Amino acid sequence: ETGVTQTPRHLVMGMTNKKSLKCEQHLGHNAMYWYKQSAKKPLELMFVYSLEERVENNSVPSRFSPECPNSSHLFLHLHTLQPEDSALYLCASSPGNNSPLHFGNGTRLTVT
């Protein structure tokens, strides 16, 4: 148990659907992250929030929309996705810079 909870664990959605991924941490961490892990590829950073402000948007398509309503919760809103967006989406948190990351178990997304 890492203290970071992601829901749902699995999600299948059509290309015209709208869905949201949720991440929650009660570790008191100030920074939260969204990562994408595609098959055979390294983890890719998507978004970083520090103290609820977005500090990094790593050239992610606008069909992915993050939201951080408070320091404990992070969402990733999905709409009009493509099949190549199928991947494992991982949320992480950390106390701040130069600190280890605490990852959730991920949401395995399949876009049909």
Partner 1 sequence: KNEVEQSPQNLTAQEGEFITINCSYSVGISALHWLQQHPGGGIVSLFMLSSGKKKHGRLIATINIQEKHSSLHITASHPRDSAVYICAVDFGNEKLTFGTGTRLTIIP
Does residue 60 belong to the site contacting partner 1 (CB under 8 A)?
A: no
Q: Which of 97, 109, 111, 112 binds partner 1 (CB under 8 A)?
A: 97
Residues paired with 8 in a beta bridge:
none
Beta strands in the chain (DSSP E): 4-7, 10-13, 18-25, 31-37, 44-50, 53-57, 64-70, 73-79, 87-94, 102-103, 107-111
Query: Shortest gap between Cβ of 16 and partner 1 (angstroms)?
Result: 26
Binding-residue pattern over the window 18 to 37 for partner 1, x denoting contact by CB under 8 A: -------------------x
39: contact with partner 1 by CB under 8 A: no
Which residues are paired to 28 by β-bridges? none
> Would you list the DSSP string of 33-60?
EEEEE-TTS--EEEEEEETTEEEEE-S-
69 part of the interface to partner 1, by CB under 8 A? no
CA-based end-to-end distance of the chain: 31
**Among positions 3, 43, 73, 86, the unique one binding partner 1 when judged by CB under 8 A:** 43
> Which of 29, 78, 85, 104 contacts partner 1 by CB under 8 A?
104
Query: Contact with partner 1 (CB under 8 A): which of 16, 41, 53, 69?
Result: 41
